[in-house]
A and B are shown apart, each in its own frame.
Chain A
Amino acid sequence: MSDAAILRVEDLRVGFATPEGLVQAVDGVSWAVAPGRTLGIVGESGSGKTVAAMTAMGLTRGRRTRVSGRVLLDGEDLLSAPPERLRALRGDALAMVFQDPLSALHPLLRVGDQIAEAVRAHRAGVSRAAARARAVELLEHVAMPDAARRVDAYPHELSGGMRQRAMIAMALANEPRVLIADEPTTALDVTVQKQILELLRRLRDELGMAMVLITHDLGVVAETADEVAVMYAGRIVEQAPAAELFAAPQHPYTWGLLRSMPRLDAEAGAELVPIPGRPPSLIHPPSGCRFHPRCAYVRERHREVDPPLAPLAGAGAADTGHRVACLLSETERRAIWARLAQGAARRRSWPASSSSSSASRSRAACCCAGGSARWRRSTA
């Protein structure tokens, strides 16, 4: 499957020079996505998931940006592409939908004009009238109610869901081969979220697009993605087919994300377990495993050794594409997750339930001493 990938990111590193130092927002990330497939990229704010995607689009270029690695669109390296070439690809072969459609749409221009502009930017010969007709067609395609009238609306006159539909219509203007959706449902009501996700899935199938879905919400990924990459502090810590990831997550951070996710099928009274601490500094990332300051299963060695993202050795099975960057042994991880999954419904907080080692207990105590007020839901 990965051989058929249309968009491939290889060892991407993106840093931003700031007065305080180099912020290494993305630190050696690789992923690929094939036509008709969806890659979900999950992580907290500041994990680098958006920066990686924006860099692929060439939107992070600037004097203070340091980029290395490769971003291949159909074999063409976008990182070394001249700006004019990149401009020609943006909005054409490669399109993006942003998080908050109210701020991502120009407030003073009619949505139809904004969509028509996307068409004309890449189709020089298209007349104004034809571009407008295309805008109406696109709005109908994304199921905008009363599209013929809404084409003349300003963004503030539309509801959140309609705005995101307009945003998607704009991204689809030139039938892109890759659609990057950056938190496309975060700013929306839950019911609207579902509609938008369904719309994206339908459009992906109809147009045969490859889709990159960036989100902090594992629930969104579970519904939509074929594969998932979990990012933490600029790196991918776990990568797997979606079903595999949800069935047998391997990284403590993924466990944290799963356990902090509200579930309808959980028993009544089951508590959401937050991940203690907060995302690390990207200027001075923690030594060893980057997750170790927040990990309940940390050992002394983990503070020094930086785990690579490696395929699961385990169980003699064929390579499922499941990779994880964790220093715990696979047997240990499977045992811990089995216990966590089982105990998830019990009224227990995460550090207390992991009474496996004294090290983890002292670590947990340390986290608490750091101020429980700082605990945050990973989905916050």
Chain B
Amino acid sequence: MAAYILRRVLWGVVLLVLVSLLTFVVFYVLPSADPAQLRAGRNADPATLAQIRANLGLDRPLTAQYWTFLTQALLHANLGYSYFSQASVGSLLVDRLPATISLTLGAIVIWVLVAVPLGVVSAVRRGTWVDKLTTGGALLGISVPVYWLGLVALYLFASDIGKFPLLPGAGSYVPLTDDPWKWLTSLILPWLVLASTFTAVYARLLRGNMIEVLSEDYVRTARAKGLSERRVVWRHALRAAVTPLVTLAGLDVGLLLGGAVLTETVFGIPGIGRLNYDAIVHADYPVIQGTVLLAAFFVIVANIVVDVAYAYLDPRVRTA
């Protein structure tokens, strides 16, 4: 197992290098705003522009630029400096990460706590109003775009613009360490909005898996043993039905940690996604590279964690 994990980690590093190269190429090959131009202002004279270009190192050959980035990143864990704010990319990421983690973890808790009971109950009570309500609601949740739902949530409940001003609105995020209560209340709306799609998807998937598993022979065996229906459903059936979803959930968490761009943008949460969005707007290449790499890093780590976790959840994988 250790050798397997080591191999996966090494591959992960290779993958990150490839991702950085791709980001670099995409940024310079595809049309993008000129970072120097953006910084110099609309009517800058060529001399100023050249000066800025030289300051940012943009006048050097592309290969040299990439080489500098790569060696700095690999040897000194230095991801460069923002064209825009001059801050180091590493420190920007560290500053923004807590907000993204707060948003992601809260959303997971909500979606797991809601999706699992919904999926199980609608599978067990298939065809009843509970099931119809759940599957209908799930379809709605899957269909509705997050940014729209976010705006509706703000319109309805935000304390500044809402019809029912119950909760802090956009831009009210406060770090947990500053004020836990404000942190909590400011995140309730974003959590609910971000969790809604995932809840819908997972409830539906779990319902489908449960229906399949409930007709399995081993569920019949569990009943034949004289187990209570509750135990049959929540231990025997759910155990088998939820295992494949753990894989998916792990990957989704990895994706979200890389920044829930839409949710963070709608609610003005200073997270990784928002940082990435701003960096793209400002053609701030080093920050784009940093956020993309961070997202890739989380996805790779999530993949490894999921594979290892799966071996523990399903003994058949262990021996295979």
- Which residues in A have some Cβ–Cβ distance to B below 8 Å? 57, 59, 83, 87-92, 95-96, 98, 100, 103-109, 117-118, 121-122, 154, 156-157, 167, 170-171, 173
Contact = CB atoms under 8 A, between A and B. Distances in A.
Contacts of A91: 224-227
Contacts of B231: 121
Interface in B264-320: 313-316, 319
Contacts of B53: none
A157 B318 CA distance: 11
B239 interface: yes
A104 B221 contact: yes
B217 A103 contact: yes
Nearest to B228: A87
Given A108-B239, A109-B239, A88 B226 contact: yes
Given A108-B315, A156-B319, A103 B218 contact: yes
Given A98-B220, A103-B218, A157-B319, A108 B243 contact: yes
A87 B223 CA distance: 8
A118 B226 contact: yes
Given A98-B217, A100-B217, A107 B316 contact: yes
28 contacts: A59-B223, A83-B229, A88-B226, A89-B226, A90-B223, A90-B224, A91-B224, A91-B227, A92-B226, A98-B217, A98-B221, A103-B216, A103-B218, A104-B217, A104-B220, A106-B221, A106-B236, A107-B218, A107-B240, A108-B239, A108-B240, A108-B243, A108-B315, A117-B225, A118-B226, A121-B226, A154-B315, A170-B225
B211 to A, nearest CB: 14
Nearest to B216: A103
Given A104-B220, A108-B315, A156-B319, A90 B226 contact: yes
B218 A59 contact: no
B216 to A, nearest CB: 7
B122 to A, nearest CB: 16
Residue of A59, A117, A122 with highest tally of chain B CB at under 10 A? A117
Contacts of B226: 87-92, 118, 121-122
Contacts of B315: 107-108, 154, 156-157
B221 A90 contact: no
Q: How large is the interface on B (under 10, 10 to 19, 20 to 34, 35 or more residues)?
A: 20 to 34
Contact of A108 (B220, B228, B313): B313
A122 B229 CA distance: 14
B70 interface: no
A57 B224 contact: yes
Contact of B218 (A87, A105, A121): A105
B205 interface: no
Contacts of A59: 220, 223-224
Interface string B219-255: 0111111111101000010011001000000000000
Given A98-B217, A100-B217, A156-B316, A106 B240 contact: yes
Contacts of A96: 224
Nearest to A170: B225
A178 to B, nearest CB: 12
Contacts of A171: 224
A157 B231 CA distance: 25
Given A106-B240, A117-B227, A121-B227, 7 more contacts: A89-B226, A100-B217, A107-B315, A109-B239, A154-B315, A156-B316, A171-B224
Contacts of A95: 224
Nearest to B232: A87
A90 B221 CA distance: 10
Contacts of A170: 221, 225
Contacts of B314: 107-108
A104 B239 CA distance: 15
Nearest to B313: A108
A170 B216 CA distance: 18
A105 B320 CA distance: 19
Nearest to B318: A154
Contacts of A104: 217-218, 220-221
A95 B227 CA distance: 12
A90 B228 CA distance: 10
Contacts of A100: 217
Nearest to A157: B319
- Chain A CB within 10 Å — which of B225, B227, B315, B316 has the most? B225
B123 to A, nearest CB: 15
B234 to A, nearest CB: 13
B212 to A, nearest CB: 13
Contacts of A157: 315, 319
A96 B222 CA distance: 11
A86 to B, nearest CB: 9
Contact of B316 (A103, A122, A154): A154
